[in-house]
Chains A and B, each alone.
Chain A
Amino acid sequence: MNVKQKRIIGLLAVFAAVFSVAPAAKAMHIMEGYLPVKYCIAWGILCIPFLAAGFFSLKKTVADHRKAIIILSMCGAYAFVLSALKIPSVTGSSSHPTGTGLGAILFGPSVMSILGILVLLFQAVLLAHGGLTTLGANTFSMAIAGPFISYGIYKLATKCKVNRLVAVFMAASIGNLATYCITSLQLALAYPSQTGGMFESLVKFMGIFAVTQVPIAIIEGIITAMVVSALETYAKPELSEIGFLRGGQKA
C-alpha cells in the first residue's frame, strides 16, 4: 500500500468515525427494513474505510501475485458456496457458515471486505436474504468484523506455536461465531429492551444467533482446515509467494 492510498484510507476512517459514532452513542443477516434508518447509515459509513483498504489490498495482490489469482478467486467462491448452505442447528432454526475465514487467513482481512460484500449483494438482490438497507450492517459483521477476528486469532495461534491446521480451524470457527455476535450486538444497539436496556436485548439476540451458530462454526472450521491442507498439497508455490507459509500475510 503506498502513501497516497494510506492517506485516503486515513481520511475515510476519520470521516467514518465522526459520522457513525454520533447516532450509535444515543443509544444471520439483518433483514431488509429491520434496522432503523440512522443505524443503516451509520454502519454503512463505518464500512467505507475498510472497503477502501480492501480495494487497494485486492489491487495490490492482483498486481503483485498474478499466480495467486486462482487462489483468490477460490476464496471468493468458497464464501459464495458456504453462505448458500443453510444448515439446521440444535436450536431448531438454521443458519449458514460465512466462509470468510479462508480468504482472511490467506490474503489478509481487508481483502475479504470486497469479496464478502459481493456475496451479500447477490443474496440481498436476488434472494431477498439480508437487504440493501441493512447491507452496511451486514457487511460490517460478515465481511469486516468476522475476517478481522479470524485473522487476529490465526496470528495469535501461530505465535503460540499452535499446529497450523488447528490454528486455521480456530480462526475460521471463531470468526464465524464472531460475525453473529456482532449481528446480535447490532440488533441490540438498535432495539434496547424497554425493561432491561441494551444488555437484555443483547442476551436475547445472542440466544438466537450465537447459539444457533455454534455447531455451524465448528463445521466451517473443519472444512476450512481441510481446504488449507489441500492447498498446502497442491499450491505450495502460490502459498509461499503470498507469504502464507512464512506465517501469514500482512494486512
Chain B
Amino acid sequence: MKIKTAVVLLIVCVVIAVVPLMLIKDSEFGGADDAASETISQILEVEEYTPWASPVYEPPGGETESLLFCLQAALGAGVFGFGIGVLKERKKSRKEA
C-alpha cells in the first residue's frame, strides 16, 4: 500500500469516528450494552432489570476505569508496535547483508 493511500484511509477512519460527535449533539455516547439493558427491562415489562450477578471487581469511578482502558490499549499498542519495529529492522538488515 502506498503511503498516500494509507493516509487517505486513515483520514476516512477519523471522519467516520468524528462525524457522529458533530451530528448528534445531545448524546453522551454511552455504551451500546447500557442501551441493551434498557431494552431488556422493556421486554420483561419491569421498571428496571436487576442483574442476578455482579462483577467481581468494578473500577472505583470513571477515572480508574479510563486508566485501565488506557492500560489495555497501551499494552496492545506496545506489543504491536514492537513487532512491526522488529520486522521492519530485520528487513532492512537483510537487504544490507
A interface, CB within 8 angstroms of B:
28-34, 36-37, 70-71, 73-74, 76-95, 122-128, 131-133, 165, 180, 187, 191-194, 201, 204-205, 208-209, 212-213, 215, 218-219, 222-223, 225-226, 229-231, 233-235, 238
Query: Chain B contact residues (Cβ within 8 angstroms of A): what range?
Result: 35 or more
State the main secondary structure of chain B at its contact with A.
helix
Cβ of B97 under 8 Å from chain A: no
Known: A84-B69, A226-B6. A29 touches B33 (CB 8 A): yes
Closest chain B CB from A232 CB (angstroms):
8
Residues of A within 8 A of B51 (CB): 31-34
Residues of A within 8 A of B75 (CB): 77, 80
CA distance A132 to B73 in the complex (A): 21
CB pair B59–A222 under 8 Å, yes or no, is no
CB pair A30–B33 under 8 Å, yes or no, is yes
CB pair A222–B9 under 8 Å, yes or no, is yes
CB pair B55–A128 under 8 Å, yes or no, is yes
Known: A205-B36, A219-B17. A34 touches B49 (CB 8 A): yes
- Please give 16 more A-B residue pairs, beta carbons under 8 A apart, in addition to A30-B33, A74-B80, A128-B58: A32-B51, A33-B51, A34-B51, A73-B79, A76-B79, A80-B73, A81-B72, A82-B76, A94-B31, A132-B55, A187-B40, A191-B43, A192-B43, A223-B13, A230-B1, A234-B91
